[in-house]
Chains A and B, each alone.
Chain A
Amino acid sequence: MRVMAQIAMVMNLDKCIGCHTCSVTCKQTWTNRTGVEYAWFNNVETKPGVGYPRRYEDQEKWKGGWTLDRKGRLVLRSGGRVKRLLSLFSNPDLPSIEDYYEPVTYDYDNLVSAPAGPDMPVARPRSVLTGEPTSITWGANWEDGLGGASEHAGGDPNLSGEWAEKVKFEFEQTFMFHLPRLCEHCLNPACVSACPSGAMYKREEDGIVLVDQDRCRGWRMCVTACPYKKVYVNHATGKAEKCTFCFPRIEAGQPTVCSETCVGRLRYLGLLLYDADRVGEAAATPNEQDLLDAQRGVFLDPFDPEVIAAARESGIPEDWLDAARRSPVYALVSKYKVALPLHPEYRTLPMVWYVPPLSPVLDAVTSAGGNQDDPDHVFAAVTRLRIPLEYLAELFTAGDTDVVGGVLMKLTALRSFMRERTLGEAGDESALKAVGLTAREAEDLHRLLAVAKYNDRYVVPAAHKEDAAALTAMENRCPVESSGEPAERKVMLGIPTLRRRDPDAPAGGHA
């Protein structure tokens, strides 16, 4: 057991209001610059929909993430090292600007400077890429609120299963939810492994995946390899940029900007302890539907004395261990098991997880929403919700509807139990028991989801000053290991190496 700690995130989609404040504050902080106008490290998608960039989830096309070869070994879907080196200068699996969108600005000055004329002046759109007037045909959030869905949303790669036949884009059948996305800061990051220059790296201290701007040579293999398409190319510098998990804030014990400004209060930040030795094994789990449990299996119980001892051995500070025990992410991911990873089948072991959303009942015509004769029976069965369980399963459980259904049942049982409480009754614990909760756990989960105090949502231990130098080190490796890899592949996966930087190197990165 080699214990490592990662700062991870959970988003409760049941609370996301789709306000995009996270996107705007992120953009204002990180990508309000030339060359990354089109890049939104954090974006919020309306589901169902093709997303941003378009159909990024279609790995047949984009070749993101990992796959198992015939021998059951983990390989990058974008191909082995040789293939990728051969395509260095013409990577065929890159989204074009049209797949994102053409960024525009407006002739605002015309509103002030237009001469007197027969018409009110207007600010018309102009491409920031060409400087020419342009026509807006797509955007970073084109599908918001199901805009254009009847035309486009059928292209959502999650609607590829046979069950998807029954999803009809008709008024009576409408469903939607918002999916905020950022870099997953994966345990098994494909982008890091794909980088020919060693510019992408995963920090050993807290697992944040970063790009060394000095080392990046602009090969863009990371863009292809990331199945979430959360690495962007700055077209001014030619280098890769991505979500930094706001590491300067995290190091100071503060939440990321997207979390801090989350209006819906749906984000949680906290530590997860994991066994770095088992990451590769978990990522190579043969059955995709077992990946969820496999990844959970990599996470360690911060209350377990053995884990604590091993963590101390690895040099994890005491306050970090304490934070790991108070981690809301651990509670939602491992204790209550209400949070699920986005597309576990990509095998990157993502570290931003989601509580799936409840939704209204589908069938208003019958009395599905409750009981006609018993007005005290107000909640409907999970199976009658508008969002098809299969759809959520495509996103979060590699198609396993039982798992998603189980989470939604847990949330529904919690609501029913709390309803009885708020109506002044004791509450029926047998219903809770059926979903694996005790009354006490239900109260705690209620506190976490509903009361959701700032200090309970964000448990971020500050970096240790004595490690400060190491944190600025730009190590070029992924600190986790994949098992069963032939030696030549190991390089690409990255081997955990130094956690402290060369003391002779100048602070602030490589020369």
Chain B
Amino acid sequence: MASFAAGSRFMSLIGGTLLSFYDWYADLPVASPQMFGDQTDVPEAADWWNAGYLVMWGSNIPVTRTPDAHFLTETRYNGTKVVAVSPDYADNVKFADEWMAPHPGTDGALAMAMGHVILREFLVDREVPYFRDYLRTYTDAPFLVALREGEHGLVPDGFLTAADLGRDEEHADAKTVLMDRTTGEAVVPGGSLGFRWGEAGRGRWNLELGDVVPELSLMETAEDTVRVALPRFDEGATEGGSVMVRGVPVKRVGGRLVTTVFDLMLAQYGVARPGLPGVWPLAYDDASQPYTPAWQETITSVPAEQAARIAREFARNAERTNGRSMIAMGAGTNHWFHSDTIYRAFLALTTMTGCQGVNGGGWAHYVGQEKVRPLTGFQHLAFAFDWQRPTRHMTGTSYWYLNTDQWRYEAFGPDELASPLGEGRFKGKAFADCLAQAVRLGWTPGHPGFNRNPLDLADEAAAEGRGVAEHVVDELKSGRLRFAAEDPDDPANFPRVLTVWRANLLGSSGKGNEYFLRHLLGTDAAVRSAESPEDERPEEVVWREEAPEGKLDLMVTMDFRMTSTALLADVVLPAATWYEKDDLSSTDMHPFVHAFTPAIAPPWQARTDYDTFLGIADRFSELAAEHLGTRTDVLAVPLAHDTPDELAQPGGVVRDWKKGECEPVPGRTMPKLVVVERDYAAVAQKIRAIGPLLDSLGTTTKGVTVHPDREIEELRHRNGTVRDGAGAGRPALATASDMCEAILALSGTTNGRLATEGFRELERQTGSEGLVELSAEREAERITFADTRTQPRAVMTSYEWSGSETGGRRYSPFVINVEHKKPWHTLTGRQHFFVQHDWMSELGEQLPVYRPPLNAIRHYGDEHLGEDGRAEVTVRYLTPHSKWSIHSNYQDNKYMLDLSRGGPVIWMSDADAEKIGVRDNEWIEAYNRNGVVAARAVVTHRMPEGTVYMYHAQDRNVNVPKTEITGKRGGMHNSLTRLLLKPTHLAGGYAQFTYAFNYYGPTGNQRDEVTVIRRRSQQVEY
């Protein structure tokens, strides 16, 4: 934490751009913000022990969660049934009772069919009271959705709101409506977004229903039944699929034709009920219609009977245990372009069976193990919120998409993805246009911001004697100023200086690695792709004839290994390892905060990241005194999650000020424009002291503000007080140890007083009682850095998270929501099966759906070189996490190389190997339009035919020869990948779709890729 915070604090203080990583690594499960309004919150590994039924779905636990795997092997002796879903016989399969091997990327089809079975058997034919009551209380299932007439007939429009009922109350358009079974009347229960922000809702933002019994289905009371047009993606000429027609019961409420989310769900899943119009599957063995078990078999190859039986067992276990059925899901299902749809199909299963918010049940997403448990202290110090707010948080994927020019190599546009039920919003657009639009509407960040220095913008405003925001809006409106995202190849918008620390951007995480090399660095690169044909180029974003190469002026990296990033950097600063520094860590896998303590001093010239950045800050400030002085900076900041910004664009309706659809109003129809004073010469002083904003503004995490006054005072004593300069009188952050101390002191998970204060505030917001009791048992406790150095310390239950550790309980997410009726941070305040945003409906993803992997061969054509008649095979190219490294770390370690195969390998099936005449351990080359890899083949019957694995992240620094195709050094696993933006990941401005760092943003997905493989000369050159 201190190592991260040192750099991000420095960058924040000077106004640099900070790139998010969770979405960039495709570890962010986008479905979580969509459905839960929450970035990610998952059970700790020990909670597997409490499960009665556990499905490992694309999560290879023994390989990627090695220290925790014993909980999995052990809970089997509790009688927990374990099912593995994996396309290959992965290491985890041997711990399962059953193995389902769907074709890669088709997991969503299997999950949808399981949902079909559960809805049919447990919610329609037989109505399990536990499931029904859970759906009524904790999900949007009973909420009313208005239908509208579209080109193909009636389609779901959006949630009916209190405004539709003609109610004239605060935020009526953000209060959702359901039918009361008892009275037959439409009611507006508390807990929705409209109750969260504003005085009138205070104390009513909760899930209490009182006497109201929400009606799940209108079937019994319907005035009529109608046909609705719903999307399907398993057939159709484009990725957008086609249309199916099903029926729902409807009523007219507030002048609008409405049905419930639950009724729409049954229609979507194809669960027929007598008397409804439309085309329905006849039975489980009807393969013609989504989403039956037989239908999924044609897509996944998983036997229909097995899929149905596993679904039945999963739900039956949940019924008997009140929700102790779990799905542990991983990168195997989260790294796809349409991962959010795959995940929503999973989460529908755990939600419709009442497993979320229950120990031993629910989703267990383990991709990336980031969970900064002491969140509040960390984020306020890491982003220098103690001195200034906000900072330039940027979505990593968008940033690299534009700045490495991967946007120039598209073969199709976003309209390809749009459902026929959409309104043609993406016609003529390119993905880069979507990004530019999302930036200017305030949905997603677009740093560095404008095509003009923001410091100059502030000066211009001052010269003209008007407000900076007013000036910027005028300039934008006139077209004299543009967002940088609208012209990424303008030299004014290039990134010039890149600092990499704690990362191996060019040897591990950089998807589209060869594009980085060509455009960002300007080195040799193996990009083989042509640029987009003219009809696929952006309509708004500027296309410059000559693509720039070598945009960067300076790349600095800090590392203790010679990674590719270090090999390519201009400057390498030797970094201390974990065993040479003070720091803190925590993860979602266990409830402890851990200390790092130096076993030895950093050898030779190495320094800790903390000391390095302090050193840089010193020299920076020295120079800044002369060159920069004090300036005013202006930041364009997207509409933010967990703030009243969530109300800005009701219904997620797109209105573009640039097209004259509305006025540009900062904070409503466009980004907020925030001014920050920067005394550059004081940066070195500020980085070393806790700033005064924590006293005046307190800390705010997920909408809860607390005031750490006492803690600031305590930190003056613990860390010492700064004597002089900008930080005079403030607690010191002179060392990493000081930073750790401050993080712990300022966070609810490690400071019982703050946890309690946060819960008290949450009680005021919700009107719920019993929240304060969650932290009462440890209220007097303060976990200090010295405590953590003695031994890892279990954190406390805090308002910062949704689960409870109270009474030694294992952490499971949403336990507080379920047990204390605390709303989720969504539009309805409940878990959402149905989501509402114009861009979501454009892609046909309002409800859970199955979308197949992108059809790479159709989009990019046959990539075979077919030289000299050599046998070649085109296969699905996957990059799962490796057994022999943690990302690229350790993959070059001699022991790991001894235990693996001593260099880069690609795993392939014996059937595919035979096609190209390759034996185990022979050299092969894998290539596609993105690059070329030389590796040895690992041939095994464990792999399914048609799919190869190149385990993530085999850097190109060990035993990588030159390739035959390029004559240059072979690539690494990301040499064959390229970024693809999913437009819905850019959607924002409304309810849970608003932006937060690492919370919402496009993922750097990489699994919809294919590669050609051929045997190469066995004589290799290095």
| Residue positions of A touching B, CB distance < 8 A | 14-15, 17-21, 23-24, 27-28, 103-106, 108, 111-112, 118-125, 136-137, 139-142, 144-152, 169-171, 173-177, 263-266, 357-361, 364-367, 369-370, 372, 375-376, 378-380, 411, 414-424, 446, 449-452
Contact = CB atoms under 8 A, between A and B. Distances in A.
Contacts of A357: 94
B97 interface: yes
Contact of B943 (A118, A137, A171): A171
A265 B939 contact: no
Interface string B857-880: 000000000000000000000000
A125 B903 contact: yes
Contacts of A365: 303, 306
B789 interface: no
Contacts of B151: none
A156 to B, nearest CB: 14
B89, B310, B321 — which one has the most chain A CB atoms within 10 A of its CB? Answer: B89
Interface string B944-982: 110000000000111111100000110000000000000
Nearest to A38: B898
A14 B907 CA distance: 26
Contacts of A375: 309, 312-313, 315-317
Contact of B899 (A24, A103, A360, A366): A24
B900 A120 contact: no
A122 B960 contact: yes
Contacts of A125: 902-903, 959
Q: Closest 4 interchain pairs by CB?
A: A419-B79, A17-B62, A450-B77, A375-B316
B70 interface: yes
A367 B309 contact: yes
Given A106-B958, A140-B898, A148-B939, A414 B77 contact: yes
Interface stretch (B34-42, B183-191, B889-897): B889-897
B94 A139 contact: no
Contacts of A24: 895, 899
B710 interface: no
A37 to B, nearest CB: 9
6 contacts: A17-B66, A118-B524, A122-B957, A149-B941, A369-B309, A419-B79
Interface of B is mostly: mixed
Nearest to A387: B94
A17 B73 contact: yes
A139 B442 CA distance: 55
A366 B308 CA distance: 12
Contacts of B496: none
Interface string B55-78: 000000011001101100111111
A378 B960 CA distance: 48
A16 B901 CA distance: 21
Contacts of A142: 901
B777 interface: no
Given A123-B959, A150-B940, A263-B70, 6 more contacts: A17-B73, A123-B892, A148-B940, A360-B84, A364-B99, A446-B77
B52 A422 contact: yes
B921 A137 contact: yes
Contact of B305 (A149, A358, A367): A367
B74 A450 contact: yes
Contacts of B701: none
Contacts of A360: 84, 93-94, 96-99
B892 A147 contact: no
B89 A415 contact: no
A177, A266, A372, A419 — which one has the most chain B CB atoms within 10 A of its CB? Answer: A419
Nearest to B311: A375
B76 A150 contact: no
Given A124-B959, A364-B303, A379-B81, A171 B562 contact: no
A147 B940 contact: yes
Given A265-B70, A369-B98, A123 B958 contact: yes
B842 to A, nearest CB: 38
B62 A119 contact: no
B397 to A, nearest CB: 25
A416 B73 contact: no
Contacts, number: 250
A75 B834 CA distance: 76
Given A24-B899, A151-B919, A263-B70, A171 B939 contact: no
B72 to A, nearest CB: 9
Interface in B522-545: 524
B1022 interface: yes
B63, B900, B943 — which one has the most chain A CB atoms within 10 A of its CB? Answer: B900
Contact of B939 (A151, A264, A423): A151
Given A19-B62, A263-B70, A415 B894 contact: no
Contacts of B969: 119-120, 122
A15 B70 contact: yes
A364 B100 contact: yes
B750 interface: no
B886 interface: no
B73 A361 contact: no
Interface string B889-925: 0001011011111110001011000000001110000
B938 A148 contact: yes
A122 B1022 contact: yes
Interface of B: 52-53, 62-63, 66-67, 69-70, 73-81, 84, 89, 91, 93-101, 302-303, 305-306, 308-310, 312-313, 315-317, 320-321, 524, 562, 564, 567-568, 883, 892, 894-895, 897-903, 907, 909-910, 919-921, 938-945, 956-962, 968-969, 1022
Contacts of A422: 52, 78-80
B312 to A, nearest CB: 4
A86 to B, nearest CB: 37
A149 B316 CA distance: 39
Nearest to A174: B89
Given A103-B898, A144-B900, A171 B944 contact: yes
Contacts of B81: 378-379, 419
B97 A136 contact: no
Nearest to A123: B958
A177 B89 CA distance: 11
A169 B77 contact: no
B80 A146 contact: no
A20 B63 CA distance: 11
Given A136-B959, A419-B78, A449-B74, A20 B97 contact: no
B895 A27 contact: yes
B883 A15 contact: no
A13 B655 CA distance: 61
A351 B957 CA distance: 43
A116 to B, nearest CB: 11
Contacts of A149: 940-942
A451 B962 CA distance: 51
Contacts of B98: 360-361, 364, 369-370, 380
B920 A20 contact: no
Given A169-B910, A414-B77, A106 B303 contact: no
Contacts of A140: 898-899
Given A14-B73, A418-B78, A380 B97 contact: yes
A103 B962 CA distance: 24
B902 A147 contact: no
Contacts of B897: 104, 106
B73 A171 contact: no
Given A119-B968, A137-B921, A147-B920, A106 B74 contact: no
A332 to B, nearest CB: 13
A376 B317 CA distance: 7
Contacts of A122: 956-961, 969, 1022
B405 to A, nearest CB: 21
Nearest to B568: A120
Contacts of A20: 899
B899 A136 contact: no
B77, B96, B902 — which one has the most chain A CB atoms within 10 A of its CB? Answer: B77
Given A122-B959, A123-B958, A414-B77, A263 B66 contact: yes
